[in-house]
Amino acid sequence: MRKPIIAGNWKMNNTASQGVALVKELAPLVTEANCDVVVCVPAIDIPAVSEAIKDTNIELGAQNVHFAEKGAYTGEISAEMLKEYGVKYVIIGHSERRQYFGETDETVNKRTLTALAAGLTPIVCVGESLEERETGKTEEVLFTQIRDGLKGIEDLTKIVIAYEPVWAIGTGKTATAEQANETIGYIRKTLGELFCPKCAANVRIQYGGSMNAKNCKELMAMEEIDGGLIGGASLKAPDFSKIVNFDK
Ligand code: 13P
């Protein structure tokens, strides 16, 4: 049984005090959740949000982690720093980081291995661009991202994968539930071939890209989809709570 995981990715939104207000509004709305509830917040919000979610069922995630343990990496944040504030999850290789900050499958792999070694749960993002989908390269792109980004992982079930088609992010264009299910099915099949079939059957794979209170039920009803990584709709407590409560 794969427990669903609904995670908000706030991206570069919410100051610490705004973030605290958001989780305080959210907490009473998600107490009956039958899934893992996570908010991935800007690094500087982590201390305040960590304090604000104590005694709730909301868990904390970061949006990136550096691959070195510590050292001369100006502007970066280590796994140990995140752990000290009770961070459990960390998004790695989001398409915005690949697109704007030079993230590659190699750096994704290094960050993922470091996060795992520190006991964090990486949420590793993969996904194709519109051009890649339209030219029939989706599977090829995903195969490479999985093979290179996840190289050397011993226990696949310790990570979460987020399938986020780049063309669906922030565009209001969701992949259809069938499209998302089929592509996530391909990801799972590939994981079975590259790692082991049993781990592939147990790894949680989220869908991300314009998921919202309206379309979440249909997406979550699909067999391969184990959760969502939600951007825009995670910034309003009523909207995000509806996604968390998709099964109600
Ligand atoms: P939107 O939900 O705003 O499309 O963002 C998706 C995303 O990138 C989550 O990581």
Residue 106 maps to a domain:
yes
Residue 30 maps to a domain:
no
Inform me whether the pLDDT recorded for 101 exceeds 90. Answer: yes
Count of positions (residues) in the chain: 248
Instruction: Report residue 171's pLDDT band, with 50, 70 and 90 as the boundaries.
Output: confident
Which atom number of ligand 1 is nearest to the Cα of residue 232?
3
CB of residue 208 inside a 6 A radius of ligand 1: yes
Q: Domain span at residue 232? A: 5-25+35-244
CB of residue 227 inside a 6 A radius of ligand 1: no
Residue 149 maps to a domain:
yes
Find the CATH number of the domain harbouring 178.
Answer: 3.20.20.70
Span 207-226, mean pLDDT? 97
Nearest partner of 26 among 74, 3, 51, 58, judged by Cα: 58
Q: Which amino acids are annotated catalytic?
A: 94, 164
Residue 10 maps to a domain:
yes
Residue 83 maps to a domain:
yes
Distance between Cα 96 and ligand 1 center (Å): 10
Distance between Cα 212 and ligand 1 center (Å): 10
Distance between Cα 74 and ligand 1 center (Å): 27
Distance between Cα 6 and ligand 1 center (Å): 12
Span 76-98, mean pLDDT? 98
Rounded percentage of the chain residues whose pLDDT exceeds 90: 97
Predicted confidence at residue 194, as pLDDT, reads 96
Digit-coded pLDDT (tens) for 129-150? 999 999 999 999 999 999 999 9
Predicted confidence at residue 172, as pLDDT, reads 83
Distance between Cα 230 and ligand 1 center (Å): 5
Exposure letters 133-164 (e unless 16+ CB within 10 A, then b) = beeeebeebbbebbeebbeebeebebbbbbbb
Instruction: Give the residue, by CA position, lying nearest to ligand 1 atom 2.
Output: 231
Confirm if 139 and 186 have CB atoms less than 8 A apart: yes
Predicted confidence at residue 60, as pLDDT, reads 99
Digit-coded pLDDT (tens) for 104-120? 999 999 999 999 999 99
CB of residue 47 inside a 6 A radius of ligand 1: no
Residue 197 maps to a domain:
yes
Which atom number of ligand 1 is nearest to the Cα of residue 229?
9
Residue 179 maps to a domain:
yes
Ligand 1: residue of 6, 9, 126 to mutate (most ligand atoms within 8 A of CB) is 9
Inform me whether the pLDDT recorded for 236 exceeds 90. Answer: yes
Residue 225 maps to a domain:
yes
Q: What type of residue is 144?
A: T
Q: Classify residue 138 as left (phi > 0), alpha (psi -120 to 50) or beta.
A: alpha
Structural domain count of the chain: 1
CB of residue 170 inside a 6 A radius of ligand 1: yes
This prediction has a pTM of 0.98
Which atom number of ligand 1 is nearest to the Cα of residue 233?
2
